């Protein structure tokens, strides 16, 4: 069993930056693909970014490409999402997720989820 806890969310202005963190416990994350998803009010949870277990592969949603960077530190069982040039449309609850078997953008494939952290970007 893997427990994930996100942190780092908050209220910022458009153009600002935030770094989200995801801390894992229970099992080492070193063999899990890790992803960030987000969910805005009234919308489905959507893929944001994924990183392979080794960190050698990353993939981003088109809406965040060039602005967000996902990274991981397997020694600390941590995953990060650096968010730059934030826009009001980035406002959502951001979730960290772990998958043992696949490098995937598909929400349904992920086995473990955190409770989420709120990001609000004002215009």
Tens of pLDDT along 96-118? 999 988 899 999 999 999 999 99
Residue 101's pLDDT is what?
Answer: 84
- For the stretch 2-30, pLDDT in tens is 999 999 999 999 999 999 999 998 888 87
Q: Which residues pair with 70 in a beta bridge?
A: 81
Helix (H) or strand (E) holding 7: strand 3-7
**Residue 107 three-state SS:** helix
pLDDT band at 76 (very low <50, low <70, confident <90, very high): very high
**Would you mind telling me the total number of residues written for the chain in this entry?**
123
Cβ atoms of residues 92 and 7 within 8 Å: no
- Which two three-digit tokens encode residue 33? 């693909």
Strand 92-99 and strand 58-60: pairing? Answer: unpaired
Residue 98's pLDDT is what?
Answer: 95
For the chain, the straight-line distance linking the first and the last C-alpha, in angstroms and rounded, comes to: 40
Q: What percent of the chain has pLDDT over 70?
A: 100
C-alpha–C-alpha distance, residues 19 and 57, integer Å? 20
């Amino acid at each position: 069993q893997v427990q994930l806890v996100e942190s780092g969310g908050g209220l910022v202005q458009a153009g600002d930056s935030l770094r989200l963190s995801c801390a894992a416990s229970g099992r080492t994350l070193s063999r899990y693909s890790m992803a960030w998803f987000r969910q805005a009010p009234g919308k489905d949870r959507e893929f944001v970014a994924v990183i392979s277990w080794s960190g050698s592969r990353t993939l981003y949603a088109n809406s965040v490409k060039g602005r967000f960077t996902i990274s991981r530190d397997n020694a600390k069982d941590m995953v990060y999402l650096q968010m730059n040039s934030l826009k009001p449309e980035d406002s959502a609850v951001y979730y960290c997720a772990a998958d043992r078997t696949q490098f995937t953008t598909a929400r349904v494939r992920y086995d473990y989820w955190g409770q989420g952290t709120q990001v609000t970007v004002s215009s």
